[in-house]
Amino acid sequence: MAHEVSHDQAHDPSNVTNPEHAEHHIVTPIQYCLVFATLLVGTAITVAAAYVNMGAFNPVIALAIACTKAVIVILFFMHVKYQSRLIKLTVGAGFFAFIILVTMTLLDYISRAWGMW
Amino acid sequence: MANSITSTGHVDHLEKLMPHESIINDEGEHVVLPQHRHHFETAEQQREAGSFGMWLFLLTEIMFFGGLFFAYLLYRNWYYPAFAVASNQLNVPEGAANTAILITSGFFMALGVWAAEVRKKKLLVLMLVFTTIFGVAFLGVKADEYHEKYEKHHIPGASFSTSMFTNPPVNPKTGKPDELPLAPDMAQHTEIFFFLYFAMTGMHAFHMIIGIVLLFWLTWRAHRGEFSSGYVAPIENFGLYWHFVDIVWLFLFPLLYLINRHPIH
């Protein structure tokens, strides 16, 4: 029978013994406190830096601090540091796809009137 | 004999291959927990599949908010003078306080996930309540900011006024205006800034409201003890959503409130 599936085929044993998700990591409250303090300090720095005139670098500094805070939240509050490679790849692929879309759309807006000024 | 997997054979299989899927009760009998789905090999596999699905949803959210951020980037480059002065009208102390409030809410959410992992029911309920309180506090501060915009006629629409930008008020401390006046046509474009401000912070606040409704539901279920016997997935996946909403604000705050604060003139 072509559609007959034995138990061993339907349930791949490698899924059960896969070390990728064999152990579940629990982030401790001490780590969460450190992350919390880091995020608050980051907020204070970003507000303070906004009042220092750095010209074109003001938005760059603000975005750099925001990205750092976001990465910390993703790695620890959202547990990505302790997740399987599948989850890490999913998160990375998502942000990568977003950057591609932004870059391509920006290129369109920059180049549409190329040579007409 | 189209399919050799009979229902009885299936249960046997569950007990053999799914050590996490069933627990042994006081009478020594195997009990299959209702939250465990039979199409997963192990509890860990089910958990990973759940996280994976949640992340796919969050990726669509990144694209959604990403579109708004992109519109902001583009218009800010086109109408830079209007965006600079309009941005400086936002309330930095309230925005900064809201950032701290939201980070605190996220911190309690993270502790809530931990409490569920270590099966502390009362602590989990307490952490979810704190998460909710700080979430509501955020919306309260946000409402106060929106009210300030209403008073200044900075809400796009019929009552929107550019007079503050064509005729900047004199600062009593310095005896001169804080900002240079804008030409009327450029001043019109401040309305686009405020439109984007309300669109972005409004969509963010809408996500917070949905999150707070879900928090009420999860707190109720946690109170009934549903998440303190090893079944953490709903708490964990809601935590991912809540932290994602935090991250959106971590970008909204500097980009809308802060990047034009430094003295330009």
Q: Which of B2, B51, B103 sits opposite A40 (nearest CB)?
A: B103
Closest to B97 in 3D by CA, of B58, B137, B52, B143: B137
| pLDDT tens by residue, B125-146 | 999 999 999 999 999 999 999 9
What are phi and psi for residue B170, nearest 5 degrees? -80, 130
Same domain? For A89 and A105 the reply is yes
- What is the overall mean pLDDT for chain A? 84
On whether both B77 and B21 belong to a single domain, the answer is no
Average pLDDT of the residues in B154-163: 93
Contact A32 B106 (CB under 8 A): no
Residue B10 reports pLDDT greater than 90: no
Q: Does A57 touch chain B (CB under 8 A)?
A: no
Residue B249 has pLDDT above 80, yes or no: yes
B123/B158 same-domain check: yes
Same-domain check for residues B36 and B55: no
Range of the domain at A67: 26-78
- Between B239 and B5, residue with greater pLDDT: B239
Pairwise CB contact (< 8 Å): A7 & B63: no
Q: What is the pTM for the complete model shown? A: 0.85
Interface contact A12, partner B, CB < 8 A = yes
A65 and A51 in a common domain = yes
Within a domain: A41: yes
Question: How many CB atoms are located within 10 Å of the residue A54 CB?
Answer: 13
User: A99 and A55 share a domain?
Assistant: no
The domain tally of chain B equals 2
| CATH number for B126 | 1.20.120.80
| Most B-contacting residue of A77, A107, A110 (CB-CB within 10 A), to test interface | A77
Cα first-last separation, chain A: 72
Complex-level ipTM:
0.83
Instruction: Return all residues near B203 (Cβ < 8 A) that are at least 6 apart.
Output: B64, B65, B68
Q: Which helix (H) or strand (E) holds B176?
A: strand B176-177
- What single-letter amino acid sits at B21? E
**Residue B205 lies in domain:** 43-258
CA atoms within 13 A on the CB side of B132: 16
B55·A90 Cβ contact <8 A? yes
pLDDT tens, position by position, A11-37: 555 555 454 544 577 888 999 999 999
**Within a domain: residue B263?**
no
List the single residue in B with minimal CA-CA distance to A91. Answer: B55
For chain A, which residues score pLDDT lower than 70?
A: 1-23, 117
Residues A62 and A92 in one domain: no
pLDDT at B15: 43
The answer to whether the Cβ–Cβ distance between B259 and A84 falls below 8 Å is: no
